[in-house]
Amino acid sequence: MNLRLTAEQEEFRRAVCELLCQDEVRAEVAQARRLPADAEPELMQVYRQLGERGWLAPNWPVELGGSGTDIEHKAILTEQLILHGVPDVVHTLAIDIVGLAVLRLGTDQQRKRWLPPLAAGRSLGCVLLSEPETGSDLAGLRTRAEPDGDGWRLYGRKRYSLKSQFADFALCAARTTESDVRFHGITVFIVPMRGPGVRVEPLWSMSDERFNDVQLSGIRLTADDVLGEVDDGWQVLHDLLGIERTGIEFEAKARRLLDAVLDETREPAEYGELLVELDAEVRAGHLLAWRALGDLATGGLDDVRCAMAKWHSTETAQRISELGPEICGLTALLSARDEQTRPGWLLESAFRDAPGLTLASGTSEVMLSVIASAGLGLLG
């Protein structure tokens, strides 16, 4: 893959930067960062501004709200949103993960129903995968879809779901058939989140982003709500997690964190060697993520390359977050809600979020297992 931007891609990057640097966007971002501890941004006006231009999901077809470009343009947008401090979890979930999965695997009817509102910045999708007793072991999930006429009723409990309190729909994995083969009999459903049979309660944590406990108590679904094939949800999950693990958002976070540390470093000479090392790690993560993205752009997913990109960039971002207070002093631990901090302050929040970086989208241990087994053949 050519890792240099084309002239057209560079122009797109500049245009996005101009929008994100507008005074009203900067003010909205600063306000979002200063929200109380029990509040967080939902769908921001800047998302709608991007949606009006077809930029929020630029790689989607025009008729679905995109601008008909490619996945590289989408990666450029993701990087710029993060580098400009725009809260990104809503966007990453709705467009990069849920929306792209529906675009790649959904029916025409599903695409027309769910994607245009996402691309316009007026709707949000989330994922319902992890459960209280299974965690990352998705093959052991217990949520069940019980037959009901020509459809199913969904029963179960999902945990650690981000932004589900705002979501209009979710991609939810449930067991439709009991099987001796753990990976068989799972189906992924598109579940409306606003109707009866879905209850969302908060799981409070140190993170600025609220996790949720989602209880499913008999919501009825039909074949029109199935993403992919019935009982073949493991393949859907494989594609979904691969999309999530290209590492683009993580390498951008690592870059923004390192830039913030460099701005606040008290003794650059004392930490010079360490900072140079971290800069090299961030640059390597950028290259790894774009190589993984290249596979996705050509229609494939390289599991090993995605695992390498995700592992490297999350470990790097976590390391930078934890080193922030050591390098920058106690000012690094001032809350963004403190009036004495400048707009867009992120080091304190990053320090709290650091433990979750190597857990989200698959733990570092799982990534290393994929690399060791599929990449190096060490666990066969």
| Average pLDDT of span 320-345 | 85
Lowest mean pLDDT among 34-38, 112-116, 146-150: 34-38
**pLDDT at residue 258 is higher than 80:** yes
**pLDDT at residue 380 is higher than 80:** no
Q: Where are the alpha helices (DSSP H) in 189-302?
A: 233-244, 248-264, 272-297
Half-sphere exposure of 3 (CA within 13 A, CB side): 10
Lowest mean pLDDT among 38-42, 100-104, 192-196, 274-278: 38-42
Lowest mean pLDDT among 37-41, 167-171, 177-181, 296-300: 296-300
**Per-residue model confidence (pLDDT) at position 333:** 86
**Range from 3-12, 161-170, 229-238 that averages highest in pLDDT:** 161-170
**Per-residue model confidence (pLDDT) at position 2:** 61
Backbone φ/ψ region at 35: left (φ over 0), alpha (ψ -120 to 50), beta: beta
| Average pLDDT of span 219-232 | 96
| Alpha carbon distances (Å) from 82 to 5, 257, 272, 290, 348 | 18, 10, 25, 16, 16
Higher-scoring residue by pLDDT: 242, 277: 277
**Per-residue model confidence (pLDDT) at position 296:** 77
Lowest mean pLDDT among 31-35, 222-226, 230-234, 318-322: 31-35
Lowest mean pLDDT among 142-146, 223-227, 346-350: 346-350
| Average pLDDT of span 263-292 | 91
Cβ atoms of 274 and 246 closer than 8 Å: no
Rounded CA separation 158/50 (Å): 31
**Per-residue model confidence (pLDDT) at position 173:** 95
| Average pLDDT of span 167-196 | 93
**pLDDT at residue 202 is higher than 90:** yes
- Kindly state the percentage of the chain with pLDDT values over 70: 97
- When pLDDT is cut at 50, 70 and 90, the band that residue 1 belongs to is low
**Per-residue model confidence (pLDDT) at position 15:** 98
pLDDT in tens, 44-90: 999 999 999 999 999 999 999 999 999 899 999 999 999 999 988 88
Higher-scoring residue by pLDDT: 258, 208: 258
What are residue 220's DSSP bridge partners? 153
Token digits for 196?
A: 């009866």
pLDDT in tens, 284-300: 999 999 998 888 777 77
- When pLDDT is cut at 50, 70 and 90, the band that residue 336 belongs to is confident
Mean pLDDT of the chain: 91
Rounded CA separation 200/167 (Å): 10
Rounded CA separation 148/256 (Å): 50
Domains of the chain (ranges; CATH) run 7-123 (1.10.540.10), 127-235 (2.40.110.10), 245-375 (1.20.140.10)
